[in-house]
Structure 1
Amino acid sequence: MRVYAGIDPVTKRPNVLTETIPPGPNAEKLAEQVKVNFLNQVYEKRNPRTKATVNQLLDKYLAEAELEFNTRDIYVGYAKKHIRPLLGETKVGALDAGVMDSLYAELRRCRDHCKKTKGQMDHRTTREHECDHRCGPHECRPLSASTIRQIHFILQGALRAAGRWKWVTVNPIADAVPPAAPKGNPRPPSAAQAARIINEAFKDPDWGALVWLTMVTGHRRGELCAIRWSHLDLDNGVLHLEKAIGQRGAKKWEKDTKAHQDRRITLDPETVEILREHLTRFQTRAAALGLELRDDAYVFSLAPDGSKHLIPDSVGQRYRKLAERLEIKTTIHKLRHYSATELIAGGVDIRTVAGRLGHGGGGTTTLRAYTAWSSEADQRAAGTLATRMPARPTMAAPAIEFPNHDPKSPYEHLAIALRDQILDGTFQPGLPLPPVKQIGADHNASAGTAQRAVKLLADWGLVELNSGRRTIVKYAAAAPIIPTAAEAPAATAPAAKPLDLEVRHLGTPIASFRAEADPSDNADLRALLVGAIRRSGGDVTEIADYELVVHLAGSTSPMTTFVATK
């Protein structure tokens, strides 16, 4: 049965719908049914308008689609590797959700689309060679869910275009189900790691300025490479971001930002001062060589006059080497995650954070893929909720009974030293104690003595012993303390208040936490600062480099800033 369906828009030849009816007593009846079905399709314009293949569709779509160079190159690669070998000769009109689902299933099975034959080898190169340890039996590896979704979007765009061109009347991919989007798992550096990264980067002031600006603004590396001095208004502390440097292999070009947005970012005074110092260094070097630093010079450049931008891949490689020296597993892109996480934890609204990072969608991408969970923000949230809870009935707290005799044994002296560290916040409730061997090494005691001291702490109710697991500090600040006979009678404790505390090292925030203490008691504040320095991996002997900013719980205005001397 053959029914004329118009002119093929691709081949310009008659488009004929054809079906063969098997012989038999009902052949004439079946033929009539097929004819009616074909005529209805043509009348309702539901029939495929062309016999063009997926290869022809991809050729036209990739040649005409308005795609950024890097995106086009990626699409061409995916089409060549995964779409054309599996669907290239399939007619566009024959595609449906079942074909799409089969394609995704094959991509999840093997990224190399192997033939499932025994003895298949994976060679290190397609050229003639002698096999070595780099060649071996083939192992099927699936494509990642994110890559399969990219392939889905390529086909979706191509078939949407096919609908506009009247190649198909119904988009066959509409009912296909691609893999779910991978869950975001941002892993920004911690505050302590960020401080180490900054300190290491500023060994080269120019490189330090770039890393600092990345951490403060969360800009992409291509955007940082494209910043010119004309984009900076240092008097008003504003950065105007309008371009980025694109790179694909050896090809580099200037382009719009990823979201095609012009962004104006407010800079803090410290960042402005760092950029002023950076500008002074640039001008001094240029003047020494008889050169002039123009307004349109790049802010970050290896050229003395700033005429050439940095290469994004080189920036990423240098940062990776810096992180490897510090034994921190991270990338420069994670600084975007760090900036987003710290801003959200600091109470900045999500739309402002998304605007600074250049995200669209009202902040959806920022929350899903860039913002890591923050224990500090969680602690503040718990504290805020606690202040709004109704008062609970007063209950007598159980006493923590210490020995009534003078401590004589080494393990008793060690237990008292550890007790003091628990009560001054060095070891915080809910967190594990150091291993027994480390406790012994820190206090010049044997492992057996340290073990008995920890057991005594458990008898006092200060720690919880877990077989096969770390010893956990228990919260007991509300319980009265009965001192040992050797200890002087405690003076009347001042009224403690819930405080929000921020620790800074050389002006850079490295930690924040909530504790109860007397904000007017320097001894209390010093003990809290010492505990925070130890928890962050710092050196207590350098306590003069640290400061403790004290807020009343829930307040944004600091009460005082405590600075200790050695």
Structure 2
Amino acid sequence: MPPAPRKRRSRQRGEIAPLESGSYRVRVYAGQDPITKKRHYLQEIVQRGPDAEDEAEKTLRRLLVQVDERLNPRTSATVRQLLEKHFALLEVERTTKATYENLARTHIVPLIGPVKLAALTAEVFDSFYAELRRCRLHCKRRRMIEHRVKAVHDCDHRCHQHVCKPLAQSTIRQIHVILSGALRRAVRWKWLSRSPIENAEPPKQPPGNPQPPTSAEAARILNASWEDPDWAVLVWLTMVTGARRGELCALRWDDVDLVTGTLRVQRSIAELKTETWEKDTKTHQHRRIALDPESITLLTAHRARSTELAAALGYELAHDAFVFSHSGDGAAHMNPRTITRRYGRLVQRLGIKTTFHKLRHYSATELIAGGVDVRTVAGRLGHGGGGATTLRVYAAWVSEADQRASTGLLDRLPRRPVGDPGVVGADELFAQNPYQLTAMDLRAQILDGTIAAGSALPTTAEVAKSYGIAIGTANRALGLLREWGLIEPRRGVRAVICALPQASEESASAECVDVVPDERSTPQDPPVVVLETSVDEIPYAEIRPTAAPMIGTGLIELVLRRRGEDVSKVVTAPVPMDPGALHRLLLDGINRIGGTAAQIGDYELEFREFGSTDSILTFVA
């Protein structure tokens, strides 16, 4: 009789081992680790006690159920190991990948790199983000010196005591995106049953704060750029199109149609350290941008200069040559970093705190303030999401539409009687907001001597209480006084009223428009300013609002007359004696009383010193 077959002994999947302390170690086999290729175990320690043995049995059964239902982590890999495999498989732009790897190397790995994936919880991530918000250098709350370089050197004033600064909110959100993507990949690989970052509180979306240059700053920047016409065309095109710097570097002449006035944006130049290459646009969207007549004129002149330069060097400018190039034949594109550095030196020389990318913000801001819908602005700028990014970033400027709505309502209401010009009314040309009205009133007190030169200005809190406005509104009002040069801010003490400069007769007649006597006037009559050319024909770069002499030294009363009859009175600050500015003032006054630009010949604008009936000059177009 043959012997009975031996039963195959099943493999022991778990064990309970007593320890010398009286506790029990529970260990369960959970498969092979995909990272180390070694046997992977789940292990827990049950503390000693009267029911320790029973608790160990329960723990063993629980761990076995986790293994059977695949609820356990299948690896003992750390966050560092996961990120290494994640980046090896990540398919994004090279520049984006380099940014992610740098953030992981600088912030993620030093803080939670050694932590095992099985130990990650929502509490770990919340503590991690709190540390990033505390100090970007992870100083561990100890005193340290921030050196200017890492090499051995003699310390000077550039080496200073460390002061904790939080990591930017947008950077923390980028780190959150990196970790979320890596953990989702770990879940797909069955390394984890679920992503532990789901229960963590993600960093808040930073508010949109683009801070574009003002119109006056943009004019100064553009005027200074005309020292090099080719460079000025690049700055101009950035202002009017809002294109990214890499898109401008990749722009070729066959992308520009000077006949129909359109510009195609369909590629970009990427830069990483010393390497550059041509790639798709940031949002992978190709777009067409309409060009205004002035931009077409500038690009035509720029192409003519490029053609002449290529011919002088013995080349022929190709149809697909780069629009902006340092090579004579246009075969090589400009580097994006070169544009940033040159623009940085320019604005530093002008004393303006801004960046090249903020010209893109300037373009979007001006479009929205001009009444262009957000979706169209998003299309010109190449924003994805149908304008969601545009609306989020530039939401502060969308309020311009609300201001236009309130102005439209005002135009339908009965006009208030023309009374005391000292009463600032709702139909004032410039001072329409509370902070502007407050600044105008304080300016009037400074100019008439109520607040003497050299005396201390009231504090922000006192200004807010006196005018019934918020602290932030009072701050903006004092900022206007500082821009007008009426106050001198001092650190730690109140601002001081500056001595008022006396305008000289020579400076008042140095430049700007020609003042010609009207045939109807006598030698004693005030001059009449006649604009003999259309304001549209004046190059943008020639409009210098900060360089033109000002009309008056104190508050100015503007009287709009139609065929000799007064129709509106307005009180405002001194205005530049500039043809473009005076033309816009006249049109603005006509529009506000319901007139049209076609009727401009019936109107004239008279300028008087506030409180006086004597005319300084009369402007007609």
Amino acid at match of 1:23: R
Shift of 1:157: 1.1
1-structure distance, mates of 2:258, 2:568: 38
Secondary structure class of the residue paired with 2:204:
coil
Provide the residue aligned with 2:329 in structure 1. Answer: 305
2:68 is equivalent to residue 43 of structure 1: yes
2-structure distance, mates of 1:425, 1:116: 55
2-structure distance, mates of 1:426, 1:343: 21
2:212 is equivalent to residue 188 of structure 1: yes
Provide the residue aligned with 2:440 in structure 1. Answer: 432
2:370 is equivalent to residue 333 of structure 1: no
2-structure distance, mates of 1:52, 1:423: 68
Contact 1:337 1:371 in 2 (8 A): no
Secondary structure class of the residue paired with 2:199:
coil
2:338 is equivalent to residue 343 of structure 1: no
Change (3 A) 1:266 1:52: same
2-structure distance, mates of 1:146, 1:318: 26
Amino acid at match of 1:46: L
Secondary structure class of the residue paired with 1:273:
helix
Secondary structure class of the residue paired with 1:143:
coil
Match of residue 299, structure 2, among 261, 275, 285: 275
Change (3 A) 1:136 1:289: closer
Match of residue 58, structure 1, among 83, 87, 103: 83
Secondary structure class of the residue paired with 2:270:
strand
Match of residue 598, structure 2, among 531, 552, 559: 559
Change (3 A) 1:507 1:523: farther
Shift of 1:242: 1.1
Secondary structure class of the residue paired with 1:253:
strand
2:254 is equivalent to residue 215 of structure 1: no
Which consecutive unaligned segments of at least 5 residues does structure 2 have?
A: 1-25, 454-465, 469-473, 481-533, 546-556, 605-618
2:538 is equivalent to residue 506 of structure 1: yes
Provide the residue aligned with 1:414 in structure 2. Answer: none
2-structure distance, mates of 1:279, 1:561: 38
Shift of 1:156: 0.9
Change (3 A) 1:163 1:427: closer
1-structure distance, mates of 2:203, 2:155: 37
* TM-score after normalising by structure 2: 0.69
Shift of 1:126: 3.4
Secondary structure class of the residue paired with 1:140:
coil
Contact 1:421 1:427 in 2 (8 A): no
- Identity of paired residues, percent? 48
Change (3 A) 1:362 1:158: same
Change (3 A) 1:523 1:151: farther
Change (3 A) 1:334 1:131: closer
Q: How does 1:409-428 map to 2 (within 5 A)?
A: 428=431
Provide the residue aligned with 1:69 in structure 2. Answer: 94
Contact 1:123 1:135 in 2 (8 A): yes
Shift of 1:250: 2.4
Shift of 1:345: 1.9
Amino acid at match of 2:205: A
Shift of 1:92: 1.2
2-structure distance, mates of 1:265, 1:449: 52
1-structure distance, mates of 2:197, 2:177: 10
Q: How does 1:474-489 map to 2 (within 5 A)?
A: none
Change (3 A) 1:504 1:30: farther
Amino acid at match of 1:317: R
Q: How does 1:385-396 map to 2 (within 5 A)?
A: 385-386=409-410
1-structure distance, mates of 2:221, 2:585: 20
1-structure distance, mates of 2:216, 2:141: 50
Secondary structure class of the residue paired with 1:214:
helix
Provide the residue aligned with 1:479 in structure 2. Answer: none
Change (3 A) 1:288 1:549: farther
Secondary structure class of the residue paired with 1:20:
strand
2-structure distance, mates of 1:436, 1:526: 21
Change (3 A) 1:555 1:524: closer
Which consecutive unaligned segments of at least 5 residues does structure 1 have?
A: 401-417, 441-446, 452-463, 473-501
How many residues of Structure 1 are paired with residues of Structure 2 in the alignment?
A: 489
Amino acid at match of 1:258: K
Q: How does 1:118-137 map to 2 (within 5 A)?
A: 120-137=144-161
Structure ranking higher on relative contact order (CA contacts 8 Å, 6+ apart): 1
2:547 is equivalent to residue 539 of structure 1: no
Contact 1:186 1:371 in 2 (8 A): no
Provide the residue aligned with 1:79 in structure 2. Answer: 104
Provide the residue aligned with 1:224 in structure 2. Answer: 248
2:201 is equivalent to residue 162 of structure 1: no
Cα distance per residue 1:395-436 (max 9 Å; x no partner): x96964xxxxxxxxxxxxxxxxx9699999687572515747
